[in-house]
Amino acid sequence: MQNQAHVDSWYAATANLKLDLPALLGAVESDVCVIGAGYTGLSAAIHLRQLGYSVTVLEANKIGWGASGRNGGHVGTGQRLDQEQLEKWLGMDHARALWALGLEAV
């Protein structure tokens, strides 16, 4: 699967495709290894790095090759149930805490 072209998309049309990162050779030591260089993996790597961790990102293909580069990556703050239903099920305090956690995650 390595080095397959991106699907025809807005991402592929605007991405810096000249970025050529070397394959991992030998042993590398870091605090955290992130598997996947899509939105979630790169965001995790950036935030961990900002906290002072050394981070290695591994990607089987190209950055954004999977769902993140195919208009298939989705980020949302909502839950499967609407907020009113969650409040009935969990109580207002827990439901609002869950909603706040969703906002913080994005």
Per-residue pLDDT tens digits for 18-29: 777 788 899 999
**Are residues 8 and 50 located together in one domain of the fold?**
yes
**Are residues 33 and 82 located together in one domain of the fold?**
no
**Are residues 23 and 49 located together in one domain of the fold?**
yes
**Are residues 86 and 68 located together in one domain of the fold?**
no
User: Which string of DSSP letters, residue by residue, matches 37-96?
Assistant: -SHHHHHHHHHHHHTT--EEEE-SSSTT-SGGGTT--------SS-HHHHHHHH-HHHHH
By residue range, what is the domain housing residue 100?
Answer: 76-106
pTM (predicted TM-score): 0.59
| pLDDT class of 2 with cuts at 50, 70, 90 | low
* pLDDT given for residue 73 in this prediction: 59
2 vs 61, residue with greater confidence:
61
- Return the DSSP state at 9: S
Number of domains in the chain: 2
**Are residues 22 and 59 located together in one domain of the fold?**
yes
At position 24, the amino acid (one-letter code) is: L
**Are residues 14 and 30 located together in one domain of the fold?**
yes
**Are residues 63 and 86 located together in one domain of the fold?**
no
Kindly state the average pLDDT of the residues 36-54: 96
Task: Report whether pLDDT(64) > 90.
Answer: no
At position 9, the amino acid (one-letter code) is: S
The answer to whether 58 touches 23, Cβ cutoff 8 Å, is no
**Are residues 54 and 80 located together in one domain of the fold?**
no
**Are residues 81 and 61 located together in one domain of the fold?**
no
Average pLDDT over all residues of the chain: 85
Extract long-range pairs of 13-17: CB within 8 Å, 24+ residues apart. Answer: 15/63, 15/64, 15/69
